[in-house]
Amino acid sequence: MITRYFPADALTKVVASLADERRVLIPVTQPAVKKSVIFAPFSAGMTVELHKASVAPKEAVLPQCETLLTYSKQKDAEDPSKVNLVLDDKPQAQPTIVFGCRPCDARGFAVLDRPYLDGPFIDPYYQARRKQLIVITQTCPSVGTTCFCHWVGSGPNSTTGSDIMLTAIDGGYVLEAVTEKGEALLAGMKLEDGAPFMDKAKTARGTVEAQLAPAPDLTQAQEKIAARFNDNTFWEEQTAQCLSCGACTYMCPTCYCFNITDEGDGVCKAGRRLRTWDTCMSPLFTREASGHNARMSKAQRMKNRISHKFSTYPENWGGEFSCNGCGRCINNCPVNLDIRAIVLAAINEKGA
Amino acid sequence: MSVLAGKELRIVGFLCNWCSYGGADTAGVARATQPTDLRIVRVPCSGRIDPLFILRALLHGADGVLVSGCHPGDCHYAEGNYYARRRLEILKQFLPVLGIDPRRFEYTWISASEGQRWQLAVTKFTQQIHELGAAPAFENAEKLIQIADMALTALRPLGTGQHAALADLKKAIVEKLPELDCVIGWQQSYDAAHSAPLFMRKPEDVEKLVWGPLNVNNLATYLPQYKGKKVGIVVKGCDSRSVTQLLQEGLINRDDVVVFSMPCEGTLDMARINQALGAYQHIDKVAYDEAGVSITADGKEHRFCMVEYAQGKCYSCATPGAVLADVRLGTPTPVTGTPATPPELALLDSMSLSERFAFWHTQMERCIRCYACRNACPMCVCRDYCVAESRDPHWLTQEDTATEKFFFQTIHALHLAGRCTGCGECQRACPVGIPILALRQQIARAVAQTFEGYRPGMNAKATPPLMGFTVEENNIKEKDWNK
Ligand code: SF4
Ligand code: SF4
Ligand code: SF4
Ligand code: SF4
């Protein structure tokens, strides 16, 4: 696979050159007393700094809000008694690069691909964006206190979901293509060959790998969590802290549920159909039109969240967890609820 | 054609059916010339006017909003306009912090016979709006980044609570536990530098209870969901105000809660702590002394002095001891002096109206609509039935525009008017660090200024100011159209 190298001070320039031709989403630090890092399009004047983002870059394929279709009514020019319905449901997609996400973020794209592209129905909106997406992932320079990627089949150097890996070494960065898409992009970039720097990159990756604490055994998680399905006391105890806000699912790289609402500009006028992120932690998620709610209590909702990630998703998709161990739902939760603790308790495993 | 020179502007009028709509009619029948910018919405009573009607109009393109009802004392439903007067006054004082010129909104009283007064009011108001010009659109606001300076002087020395009678507290909890469903307190969270709520059900759970400056969560948030069950709760001073407020509103029963309290010496601003700690893998040590905490992460020691790293609310805290408690251990340090303006609000105060608009637009853009702010708020009790997600009423769409997100923040702030105790949980909960507390602080200031220093959560027997009225209001002045 093709490799490339560029010196550390060329980072912004390299991103800028990519941004000439497409939208490049980079992690941008939002200044505030409580700083957060959000993926935003690169524009001239920005300096690129590769911090781990507070919110996963799933926005690139599944925006917080997108217009699925717009409609309007227009009088027929020929026959004034006739009104034609004009409908536009063309997906809005543009060539995009996600630059500098982490392996846990990139694996999110792979997790989302299965239900959106590999199931019985293909989501045309998702597909249009995904086709035009290139993911350039930074191998993690360090492990965080809430990181547990290596428990769930990912890791600080995992390539799943990435097209190109970026590794920081002393004085520069090494780029390594993982997919053909990535190779094509790297081939077109006028940068130094990375081969002479690959050893250093491998050492850097190894150092981080070595920092990982031993992972608990989650091989039985799928069955054991399924077996907990009727253990209400368990779920109630584990969920007592939860505020049912949904921050965890919105931050998550693998949560992919959405809601659809129609907004009209008045009767018989134009309108649009919106798709927005939804969260299984909200009571509205399962409230039916009749008023009946299948998951009234937060314990039932948490059971769904944990089971989906560690039991039913793996059941449907070849044993893969739909959790990447990024830890965002732990340190961004207003009550620091720890998903690791719930999973371990559910399968009676001790933490690492 | 407008009687005023130039183009018409978009002015919305909310008029009560009985008096002001009649007054406008009288003016019309008398062929009194009036500007035509006003679009009238007729409502049964000025008491029916939700301040959100006005805010929504202003955020969605109205250049001005005029509300008119029957004169106080003349309400056809006896007292609707007395309540309206208080609400509308607080709204008027709220607008500036949003970046909206308060002169874009007026409320007045006009009876059915006062055609001339109507003519005067509508002419003067339209003139006022034309002088202000078309309202700036929130979506077009420029980018503006400013950060609050959190360094303040506390009303008392802050500390880390290391001399608190934690052992006695644990004993008291164990004693009471048999008659309670659970007792809510704090425990260590995912590492020693973070805490999380603890639900003690068995005596062994009580062992996990911790006390100190990391206990940031306001546990009163959990109480309403236990209504009808007997539970205990450990409180800091500020948390006890939330408990008091919940009692005042009948959202919990006094007989069902046992409040355990110890004097609070301040809590840490976890946002700034986490920022200073940066990315780390392990907490090696957390050492407390009187003045602060030393946290060693991945071999590196970080020092956090309480004077520098406390939560904004702690500097101006006047209630380190609980406002109400059943089990009280220890005596709080006496508080002296008057609290300074909270740092978040002071920042907004220092800006011009257009800067505030720009500031909020820049901040709100990154809101992910997770509603952690709402769900962490102990006083946000509709929760599962919040209007933010309802289709009927349809206050908000799911569009991710800064306007929609900001409008929700104004909804939350207004729904908390006269109820918010300033606990700061909304802001602390926000995962993307939007300084939304300033909005609540401005309303709290307006409430205190208008209603004789009223502070929510101090007295469970008090009448909340927006749930009552006086026939003569000392601090609310009627708009004089002759000026
Ligand atoms: S972020 Fe935390 S409190 Fe909010 S829904 Fe998720 S687990 Fe519950
Ligand atoms: S506001 Fe007062 S009672 Fe609350 S944490 Fe701060 S110092 Fe303690
Ligand atoms: S609005 Fe914010 S500060 Fe006020 S009571 Fe609710 S959470 Fe506390
Ligand atoms: S907590 Fe923050 S991001 Fe979430 S809805 Fe509230 S303001 Fe928006």
B381 near A CB under 8 A: no
Dump pLDDT digits (tens) for B277-317: 999 999 999 999 999 999 999 999 999 999 999 999 999 99
B24: exposed, middle or buried (C-beta count within 10 Å: 0-12, 13-18, 19+)? buried
pLDDT at B79: 95
Sign of CA dihedral A209, A212, A217, A218: negative
Residue among B220, B280, B266 at smallest CA distance from B245: B220
Is B371 a residue whose pLDDT tops 90? yes
Tens of pLDDT along B147-175? 998 878 899 999 999 999 999 999 999 99
**Is the CB of residue B314 less than 8 Å from the CB of residue B332?**
no
Are the CB atoms for B150 and B269 separated by under 8 Å? Answer: yes
B275–A277 C-beta distance less than 8 A: no
Residue numbers of B between 201 and 260 with CB closer than 8 Å to A: 201, 217, 221-222
CA distance B206 to B200: 6
The CATH topology of domain B11-135 is: Rossmann fold (3.40.50)
B279: which chain A residues are within 8 Å (Cβ-Cβ)?
52, 142, 144
Nearest CA to ligand 1 atom 6: A248
Residue B4 has pLDDT above 70, yes or no: no
Is 60 exceeded by the pLDDT of residue B5? no
CB-CB under 8 Å, A331 with B275: no
- Please report residues of B whose CB lies closer than 8 A to that of A211: 281
Query: Does A335 sit within 8 Å of B196, measured CB to CB?
Result: yes
pLDDT of residue B3: 47
The response to whether residue B52 sits with its C-beta less than 6 Å from ligand 3 reads: no
A 249-308: CB under 8 A from B: 250-251, 259, 261, 263, 274, 276-277, 279, 282-284
In Å, how far are A261, B132, B226, B443 from B209, measured between CA atoms? 45, 57, 20, 35
Segment A199-226 shows an average pLDDT of 96
B370 lines ligand 4 (CB under 6 A): yes
User: Ligand 3 pocket, B423 CB below 6 A?
Assistant: yes
Whole-number Å distance between alpha carbons of B427 and B406 = 14
Q: What is the pLDDT of residue A352?
A: 46
Query: Percent of chain A at pLDDT above 90?
Result: 93
Distance CA A58, CA B234 (A): 40
Residue B383 has pLDDT above 80, yes or no: no
Render pLDDT for A216-269 as a digit per residue (tens, 0 to 9).
999 999 999 999 999 999 999 999 999 999 999 999 999 999 999 999 887 778
Cβ distance A92 to A41 under 8 Å? no
Chain A residues in contact with B274 (beta carbon < 8 A): 34, 331
CB atoms within 10 A of CB B381: 20
Ligand 1 pocket list (CB less than 6 A): A 242-248, 281, 333-335, 337; B 372
Treating both helix axes as pointing N-terminal to C-terminal, what angle do B20-29 and B115-132 enclose, rounded to 10 degrees? 100
Is the CB of residue B27 below 6 angstroms from any atom belonging to ligand 4?
Answer: no
CB-CB under 8 Å, B190 with A330: yes
Cα nearest neighbour of B284 on chain A:
A145
Q: How far apart are CA B234 and CA B144, in angstroms?
A: 41
Q: What angle do CA B370, B376, B378 make, to 5 degrees?
A: 145
Tell me which amino acid residue B126 is: T
B196 lines ligand 4 (CB under 6 A): no
Of the listed ranges A71-75, A242-246, B76-80, B182-186, the least confidently predicted one is A71-75
Mean of all residue pLDDT scores within chain B:
95
> Which neighbouring-strand residues pair with A101?
A137
Element (H, E) at A18: helix A11-19
Q: Whose CA is nearest to atom 1 of ligand 3?
A: B420
Q: Which of residues 129-148 of A touch B (CB under 8 A)?
A: 142-147
Inter-chain CB pairs, A–B, below 8 Å = 145
Q: Quick check: CB of B49 below 6 Å from ligand 3?
A: no
Closest residue of chain B to A35, computed from CA coordinates: B433
State the burial class of residue B339 (Cβ atoms within 10 Å of its Cβ: 0-12, 13-18, 19+). middle
pLDDT band at B2 (very low <50, low <70, confident <90, very high): very low
> Residue B479 half-sphere exposure, CB side, CA atoms within 13 Å?
26
Burial classification of residue B288, based on how many CB atoms lie within 10 Å of its CB (0-12 exposed, 13-18 middle, 19 or more buried): middle
Closest CA to B218 of B199, B248, B241: B241
pLDDT at B6: 60
- Out of A146, A250, A335, name the one closest to residue B197 (CB): A335
| Cross-chain Cβ contact B399/A64 below 8 Å | no
How high is the pLDDT of residue A74?
Answer: 87
Domain chopping of chain A, boundaries: 3-347
Ligand 3 centroid from CA B379, angstroms: 7
The pLDDT tens digits of the residues spanning B10-42 come to 999 999 999 999 999 999 999 999 999 999 999
**E strands, B92-192, where?**
105-109, 182-188
| Mean of the per-residue pLDDT values of chain A | 95
* pLDDT level of residue A349 (50, 70, 90 thresholds): low
Q: Tokens at residue A253, please?
A: 């790289």
Q: Do A250 and B375 touch (CB under 8 A)?
A: no
Cβ within 8 Å of B, A 181-220: 211
With CB atoms and an 8 Å threshold, state whether B368 touches A245. no
Percent of chain B past pLDDT 70, that is, above it, reads 99
Cβ(B423)–Cβ(B416) under 8 Å? no
Q: Over the Cα atoms of chain B, what is R_g?
A: 25
Does residue A78 register a pLDDT over 70? yes
CA of B373 to the centre of ligand 3 (A): 8
**DSSP-based three-state secondary structure for B420:** coil
Does A117 have pLDDT greater than 60?
Answer: yes
- What is the Cβ-side half-sphere exposure of residue B171, based on CA atoms within 13 angstroms? 6
Tokens 């029948």 belong to residue: B29
Q: Which of A136, A126, A212 is nearest to A167 (CA)?
A: A136
Determine, for residues A241 and B272 on separate chains, whether the beta-carbon distance falls below 8 Å: no
Q: What pLDDT band is residue B483 in, cutting at 50, 70 and 90?
A: confident
Answer whether residue A350 shows pLDDT above 90.
no
CB–CB contact B399 A263 (8 Å): yes
Which residues in chain B touch residue A237, judged by CB atoms under 8 angstroms apart? 199, 201
Q: Which of B371, B396, B408, B423 to mutate to test the interface with A (most CBs of A within 10 A)?
A: B371
Helix (H) or strand (E) holding A14: helix A11-19
CATH 3.40.50 positions along chain B are 11-135
Residues whose CB falls within 8 Å of the CB of residue B348, separated by 6 or more in sequence, listed in order: B97, B356, B359, B438, B442
On whether the CB atoms of residues B19 and B111 are closer than 8 A, the answer is yes
Nearest CA distance, A188 vs chain B (angstrom): 34
Q: Hey, of A64, A282, A336, which one would you mutate to test binding to chain B, going by the most B CBs within 10 A of its CB?
A: A336
Instruction: Give exposure, B394-414, as e/b (b: 16+ Cβ within 10 Å).
Output: ebbbbbbebbbbbbbbbbbbb
- With a CB-CB cutoff of 8 Å, which residues 361-380 of chain B face chain A? 363, 366, 368-372, 374-376
Residue nearest to atom 6 of ligand 2 (CA): B314
Q: Which 3 state secondary structure label does DSSP give A121?
A: coil
- Backbone φ and ψ for A168, nearest 5 degrees, come out as -80, 130
Phi, psi of A172 (to 5 degrees): -170, -170
pLDDT band at B87 (very low <50, low <70, confident <90, very high): very high
Distance from the CA of A248 to the center of ligand 1, in angstroms?
5
Query: What are the tokens at B87?
Result: 């609400």
Nearest to B405 by CA among B413, B396, B414: B396
SS3 A128: helix
Helices (H), B305-436: 306-309, 312-315, 343-349, 353-364, 372-376, 402-415, 425-429
- DSSP conformational letter for A215: P
A306 Cα: distance to centroid of ligand 3 (angstroms) = 30
Which residue of B lies nearest to A283 if distances are taken between CA atoms? B384
Question: Could you report the per-residue pLDDT of A139-150, keeping only the tens digit for each?
Answer: 999 999 999 999
What is the pLDDT confidence band of residue A351, given thresholds at 50, 70 and 90? low
Examine the pLDDT at B352 and tell me if it is beyond 70. Answer: yes
- DSSP labels for B232-271? EEEE-HHHHHHHHHHHHTTSS-GGGEEEEE------B-HH
Phi, psi of A271 (to 5 degrees): -165, 180
Measured in whole angstroms, the distance separating CA B178 from the mean position of its chain's CA atoms is 37
Helices A232-239/A298-307 angle, 10° precision: 100
Chain A residue numbers with beta carbons less than 8 Å from the beta carbon of B148 are 33
Percent of chain A topping pLDDT 70: 99
Question: Which residue has the least CA distance to atom 3 on ligand 4?
Answer: B367
Contacts of A286 in chain B (CB under 8 A): none
Cβ–Cβ gap A332/B431 under 8 Å? yes
Q: How far apart are CA A38 and CA B364, in angstroms?
A: 13
Place of tokens 């008291």: B172
Q: Work out the pLDDT band at B384, boundaries 50, 70, 90.
A: confident
Two tokens, residue B214:
């990391």
Separation CA A157–CA A155 (nearest Å): 5
Chosen from B190, B198, B286, B430 to mutate, greatest number of chain A CBs within 10 A: B190
Q: Work out the minimum CA distance from A79 to partner chain B, whole angstroms.
A: 35
Report the length, in residues, of chain A: 352
